[in-house]
Amino acid sequence: MKMLKHRLLIVAAALLIASPSVAKKKKKAPKKAAPAAEKIELLPVGAKAPHFTLKPINRGSIGAGLGDPTANRFGATVLKKLVGKKRKPSDVKLVVLSFYATWCKSCQKEVPYLNELTKELAPKGLRSFVIAVDKGGDGKKLLDAKLAEGMGPKKTKIEIPIFHDGFNILQKKFKAAALPTVYMINAEGKIVFTKHGFNEKKGDKKKLRAAVLKGLGS
């Protein structure tokens, strides 16, 4: 009987040695890394900015009340008259394009600041335009309501020209999938600065102002 017990103990010990997973806790499988955020690719700095012709929906405020040398007889703004080889003689040194939507919370803060910045620096050669990408007729109604109400926490009246890109043609041309997206274009028609997103807590106001002043050569 003792011999049998002894043999059973030997067999049990052998099984434990042969199967270490029984004696040890199973290791947890390593956690899979979170998928990398999709990289947003804007038009590159140094590239020529696509031209466009659009009619501002806030016609009474063309050029922030300072005159708009790009307006044609139909009241439309033509970018190629502002920058590039075919530009008309003017004091314009930098054009800022901001892609916007009524549902974009960051846009509601960026555009009023851009409006303020343009009114201050227009005499030094700054012109700014907002391109609203709210789709179709319903988007236009939302945009009109937003303009009537005023934009941002202070309900700012926007005085820089706003265009309605209801079919998102310009949004696609400028690869402005993320909102807000800002492009700065110099007098030669080349892109000198790009940015998407606007966060005051991260100092984006200062960054935007610094980029504008650099573009103006100030």
Structure tokens at 40: 């947003």
Which residue in this structure is represented by tokens 């920058």?
83
Structure tokens at 157: 């009246």
- Helix (H) or strand (E) holding 191, with range, is strand 191-196
Give per-residue pLDDT as tens, 62-84. Answer: 453 344 555 665 566 778 778 88
- Helix (H) or strand (E) holding 53, with range, is strand 53-54
- Strands (DSSP E) along 103-179, which ranges? 126-132, 162-164
User: Domain 53-216 is in which class?
Assistant: alpha beta
- Can you give the pLDDT at residue 67? 46
- Can you give the pLDDT at residue 53? 83
- Can you give the pLDDT at residue 34? 45
- Can you give the pLDDT at residue 191? 97
Q: Which ranges of the chain have pLDDT less than 70?
A: 1-38, 59-76, 89
C-alpha to C-alpha distances, 72 to 53, 83, 138, 141, nearest whole angstrom: 10, 15, 27, 25
pTM of the predicted model as reported, rounded to 2 decimal places = 0.77
Rounded to an integer, what distance in angstroms lies between the CA atom of residue 133 and that of residue 154?
Answer: 23
- Can you give the pLDDT at residue 40? 79
What are the residue ranges spanned by the domains of the chain?
53-216
- Can you give the pLDDT at residue 38? 61
Give per-residue pLDDT as tens, 1-22. Answer: 555 555 555 555 555 555 544 4
